[in-house]
Amino acid sequence: MKETMRRSAIFGGALKMAFLNLSPHIQWRNPVMFVTYVGAIATVALVIQGAFKGSFSPFNLQIACWLILTVLFANFAEAMATSRGKAQAAGLRRIQHETYARRVVEGREEAVRSCELQKGDLIVCSAGDLIPADGEVVEGVAAVDESAITGESAPVIRESGGDRSAVTAGTRLVSDRLIIKVTAESGTSFLAHMIALIEGASRQKIPSEIALSIILSGLTLIFLLTVSSLKLFSLFSGEAGGADLSSPVTLPILISLLVCLIPTTISSLLGAIAIAGMDRLIQRNVIAKSGRSIEAAGDIDLLIMDKTGTITMGNRMAYAFLPARGVSERELAEVAQLASLADETPEGRSIVVLSKSLFGLRGDIFQANRTKLIPFSAQTRMSGVDFLSPEGQVTRRIRKGAVQAIRSFIEAQGGIYSPTFDLQAREIAKEGGTPLLVSDDNRIVGLIHLKDTLKGGIKARIEEMRRMGIRTLMITGDNPLTAAAIALESGVDDYVAEATPESKLTRIKEEQAKGLLVAMAGDGTNDAPALAQADIGMAMNTGTQASREAGNMVDLDSNPTKLIEIVGIGKGLLMTRGALTTFSIANDLAKYFAIIPALFGGLYASDGSGPLIGLNIMRLHSPESAILSAVIFNALIIIALIPLALQGVHYKPQSAQALLRSNLLIYGVGGIIAPFVGIKVIDLLIHGLGLTH
């Protein structure tokens, strides 16, 4: 019921907008439709003039009505796309209501309206508060409900000093307390920017759209000059052939011919296609800051992806226990589990889970005064447990951690480290895994193979990119061996290991210098230079303010793999525009066969019919019926193609040659056949209803 009401509201809003946009200062922005607009007005004026002079023409009135409808249908196409955006914007605007903020001034809090906040102000938010402005967390850790923007009900963690420090106006604090530094002036928040983009208030035509508009305007000018000369041609030819062409070659009929021949179909749908492309991104919770970025997505040559979280799951999990000589796998699992009980990292938890799933082992319950748990830390790079004697002396030391850290620990206790473990560790790294050593006192009992598994379907999606002609590059801070293994397993074309912000930026510049368009996803402050340099820079909404400002797209779901979907959306947008342009131009052929015989069928006639009447291959009933059928088809095809413009042509990864062949077959040949069928059907209806003689 709600969905039906929403659709009714969208349709009603679009219909109202279609009439409001009849204003000349709006119509002139589209030169092709402006010619149709002027033609419609001129025809209406001729009908009114004829009525006053006593020579009212029902035929001219029908032409005038259908020309007006052509303009209205064109307005409705773009209004329909815009109206869908306005419905989304209305939902966002409801959460942008006026709120109060607690601003920190000289160590004390004062209540101010959110519109009074300035960039650089410090504000305090507690659990239950609506965050009043875009900002960066400078103190505290808290859960934030971002469902109003992302649609995701699960709260997300925001904290200071990391890559998840950005917060957005209109979201709500679920727990704890944050001190936030305002990063946007009033009225320029991320939410306000989203609303403007969705409503199309700040939409600018993208370069290819501008180029196509210029071409279409050029074609219109050529047809305008050609049709304008037909009156003189008809007078000359009529006199030479002894025929009177004053009746068929009238101003309303010439206007009809012009409107049917100029590319009204694609011109009326261009705006709708572009807005719908933006809308498809928004439906996937991606905000494009400009139409240019959507267009670039369709032409991307190189896709740069971070390994962790994009190609792989991001959490390294225990994959296998590899015991040393003389040690059983169960014994290694027992020791590894004990060493991991104090390790709260995902890796440590996965070791406990793996030992339990393989051997049913459960963590021992230690006496507090007889054991000492050693938690994992980034400084020591290991965790473990010490067993103590009744006197408090350490009787047994169990450790698990990085290879170099455990080696140093063993040697410090006087143990002997075998290079064999280095070879095993290298083999694990070659497979894309991470090796951990496990020691019991001063001896190594084996290794743990941690593996960052590939995301489901990522290999198939990378193969899709390859079929599109897009190269893929994986960037990671891992060592070259691990990077090479993951690159081989995932199927990427190339990789960069031990990457730094400088190396990312350098690589993007190198690729762009070759004439390639580059796309990249990132979320950290160190990603900002590369995001700004890339042709498509998709920042994560959970990332820092610097990265969000640097990118030209923001993913509200913070899912880096969505970059692959965005490429598909961009290509679909370009395909839709190309397909409808092909269809629109191909339409003209049938209109020639309809209107030219109607205008000049009586030229050089010997028995009432001249040689040009042979072009009436559709066997249309009369000249008036032929002209009216062409005008009606020209108007109705706009309405028929609105769903395709809004939905977009379905993109299937394949070569450019295959896409071109498919496009020409479906929309080129289809654009030739459809009007022949459509005009003939309309002619039969007109004749059956007696609308012409």
Cα distance between residue 435 and residue 354, in whole Å = 15
Mean pLDDT score, 426-444: 87
Cα distance between residue 223 and residue 362, in whole Å = 84
User: Is residue 417 predicted with pLDDT exceeding 70?
Assistant: yes
Closest CA to 643 of 282, 276, 295, 294: 276
Task: Give the torsion through C-alpha atoms of 51, 54, 55, 60, to 10 deg.
Answer: 10
CA distances from 574 to 216, 577, 651 (A): 16, 5, 10
> What's residue 321's pLDDT?
94
513 pLDDT band, cuts 50/70/90, is very high
Closest CA to 184 of 123, 125, 117: 117
159: left (phi over 0), alpha (psi -120 to 50) or beta: beta
Q: Is residue 272 within 8 Å of residue 590, measured between CB atoms?
A: no
> 549-586: per-residue pLDDT in tens?
788 888 877 776 777 788 888 888 888 888 999 998 89
> What's residue 551's pLDDT?
82
User: Is residue 318 predicted with pLDDT exceeding 80?
Assistant: yes
Count CB atoms within 10 A of the CB of residue 401: 25
> What's residue 370's pLDDT?
82
User: Is residue 246 predicted with pLDDT exceeding 80?
Assistant: no
Weakest mean pLDDT among 106-120, 183-197, 367-381, 445-459? 183-197
Cα distance between residue 539 and residue 233, in whole Å = 61
201 pLDDT band, cuts 50/70/90, is very low
> 139-187: per-residue pLDDT in tens?
888 888 776 666 555 577 787 766 677 887 778 888 788 888 888 776 6
Task: Give the torsion through C-alpha atoms of 154, 520, 300, 286, to 10 deg.
Answer: 20
693 pLDDT band, cuts 50/70/90, is low
Closest CA to 472 of 314, 651, 278, 653: 653
Cα distance between residue 641 and residue 678, in whole Å = 14
113 pLDDT band, cuts 50/70/90, is confident
Q: Is residue 459 within 8 Å of residue 477, measured between CB atoms?
A: no
Q: Which two tokens stand for residue 511?
A: 């690729």
Q: 383 - beta bridge partners? A: 400
> What's residue 469's pLDDT?
81
Length of the chain: 693
Amino acid at 320: A
CA distances from 142 to 95, 145, 160, 443, 481 (A): 21, 10, 10, 43, 38
The DSSP output letter for 342 is: T
User: Is residue 367 predicted with pLDDT exceeding 70?
Assistant: no
Cα distance between residue 18 and residue 665, in whole Å = 33
Amino acid at 373: L
> 454-510: per-residue pLDDT in tens?
777 788 888 888 887 889 998 887 778 778 888 888 889 999 888 887 888 889 999
Mean pLDDT score, 13-27: 87
Q: 173 - beta bridge partners? A: 144
Identify the residue with better confidence: 92 or 224.
Answer: 224
Tell me if residue 151 falls in helix, strand or coil. Answer: coil
> What's residue 623's pLDDT?
82
Rg (CA), the chain: 35
Identify the residue with better confidence: 55 or 337.
Answer: 337
Secondary structure of 454-477 as H, E, C letters: ECCCHHHHHHHHHHHCCEEEEECC
* Burial of residue 80, with CB atoms counted within 10 A of its CB: 0-12 exposed, 13-18 middle, 19 or more buried: buried
Mean pLDDT score, 395-413: 91
The owner of tokens 């006199």 is 239
438 pLDDT band, cuts 50/70/90, is very high
Q: Which two tokens stand for residue 146?
A: 């971002």
User: Is residue 96 predicted with pLDDT exceeding 60?
Assistant: no
Which residues participate in catalysis according to the annotation? 306
The owner of tokens 């507090």 is 368
pTM for the model stands at 0.67
- Counting DSSP H helices and E strands in the chain, the numbers are 24, 22
632 pLDDT band, cuts 50/70/90, is very high
Instruction: List, in order, residues 6 or more apart from 575 with CB less than 8 Å away.
Output: 298, 648, 649, 651, 659, 663
* Burial of residue 50, with CB atoms counted within 10 A of its CB: 0-12 exposed, 13-18 middle, 19 or more buried: middle
Instruction: List, in order, residues 6 or more apart from 99 with CB less than 8 Å away.
Output: 113, 114, 130, 132
Q: Is residue 206 within 8 Å of residue 294, measured between CB atoms?
A: yes
Cα distance between residue 164 and residue 169, in whole Å = 15
Q: Is residue 648 within 8 Å of residue 276, measured between CB atoms?
A: yes
Mean pLDDT score, 620-629: 86
User: Is residue 202 predicted with pLDDT exceeding 50?
Assistant: no
User: Is residue 361 predicted with pLDDT exceeding 60?
Assistant: yes
Q: Is residue 93 within 8 Å of residue 188, measured between CB atoms?
A: no
Identify the residue with better confidence: 269 or 364.
Answer: 269
Amino acid at 154: A
Closest CA to 198 of 88, 79, 77: 88
Amino acid at 421: F
Structural domains in the chain, CATH included, are: 2-87+201-282+569-605+621-689 (no CATH), 118-185 (2.70.150.10), 292-313+454-556 (3.40.50.1000), 317-451 (3.40.1110.10)
Q: Which two tokens stand for residue 664?
A: 């020409």
Identify the residue with better confidence: 431 or 444.
Answer: 444
> What's residue 73's pLDDT?
94
Closest CA to 59 of 686, 612, 581: 686
Q: 537 - beta bridge partners? A: 520
What is the rounded average pLDDT for all residues in the chain?
82
Mean pLDDT score, 592-616: 71
Identify the residue with better confidence: 356 or 659.
Answer: 356
> What's residue 309's pLDDT?
65
Q: What percent of the chain has pLDDT over 70?
A: 84
Q: Is residue 38 within 8 Å of residue 24, measured between CB atoms?
A: no
